[in-house]
Amino acid sequence: MENRGLLFIPDISGFTRFINEIELEHSQHIIQQLLEVLINANQTGLEVSEIEGDAILFYKFGTPLELDTLYRQVERMFCEFHRHLNAYDQRKICQCRACVAAINLSLKVITHYGEFTTYQVKNFSKLIGKDVIVAHQLLKNDIEQHEYWLVTDDFFNDTQPVDLTQWMKWNTSAKQTENGNVLFHYTHLNELKKQIPPEPDPQIELSDKVKVISVSKEYNVDIKTLCFTVVHFEFRHQWQVGVKAVDEVEHFLPGVGSRHRHVLENGEEVLMYTSSFSYNPEEKILFSETDEKRKRATYYTIEKTGDRKSRLRMDFYLHKNLVRQMLFNLREKKKMELNLHQSLENLEPVVMQMILPLEF
């Protein structure tokens, strides 16, 4: 039994089309996050041999896991995978084709039991053996649906698989390989999606707020170009007065609930949350930022006003507090209002020169 064990490959379907047809950097970042989600969902002590672009090769030497235990592993990975995609789809800000299409990615899992061994390449432990080849060959098969769990007959050892849930139904098929016909059973996993609860509202917006400043300006650009310029932080220092840079705090793609750091020209640093985003490029796009202490918020409303014409309105809010409002009106309001007006003026040459990515 020393050289026999389980081979377990979760594979993200649609990955090749995803990176060939759409924006590369964001698609790679999304896949990276999903692979991390799958690794973090490992609850059965599986070892990672290697990450193979859109898939992870897990293994575990010894006798096979019980089918029910293995199913719980598949269930957890599948549900965590789709929970992550649902959360990103609901909270995403970027509207490039990579980010919009991420929700359509799917997951299949290949399980095979056989002979293999490991060898070291520097610090990496790699697998070798004909059954490793078989497991990879099974990624290409005649199953029409993209979300399923495939288990070879070598795992069952001449026994028949049992239905582990009410909805589960096992199907049989085979894969012709150079080593002969590989028999397997498979079951679809689509029903698991129905068990995933809806993503909760992050509730980051100020619930009790009062508007203290409102400024606006119209630009001779389309609404998508104006939105792209305003919501992408790498351009913020080019137009917003007092801002030296805006850095991402989390490593994932920005969305509602993510944090970013405003580095101001006076040396101060302010942590902000992306607190809301709604996208309707035919009419209006709304984006807001709330400070980490939940005392201030800025709302950016981008409206389509005509053919290649759009308007940006910036509304500044304070948490409702009479003393704080009075102090703000006395000490800060006039200067901030001037800075916001100047920011809108600074934005004009930036947005007029902006080239919208084809994928957006």
Query: Domain-by-domain residue ranges, the chain?
Result: 4-193, 209-353
Give the pLDDT confidence score for residue 22 in this predicted structure.
57
Provide the mean pLDDT of the chain.
91
Render pLDDT for 263-314 as a digit per residue (tens, 0 to 9).
Answer: 999 999 999 999 999 999 999 999 999 999 899 999 999 999 999 999 999 9
User: Residue 206: pLDDT band by 50, 70, 90 thresholds?
Assistant: confident
CATH for 4-193 is 3.30.70.1230
Q: Which distant-in-sequence residues (6+ apart) come within 8 Å of 152 by Cβ?
A: 111, 112, 113, 134, 138, 182, 183, 184
DSSP string, 41-68: T--S-PEEEEE-SSBEEEEEESSPPPHH
- β-bridge pairing 47-51 and 259-264: unpaired
pTM for this entry? 0.84
CATH topology for 209-353 is: Alpha-D-Glucose-1,6-Bisphosphate; Chain A, domain 4 (3.30.530)
User: Residue 28: pLDDT band by 50, 70, 90 thresholds?
Assistant: confident
The rounded distance, in Å, linking the Cα atoms of 53 and 55 is: 6
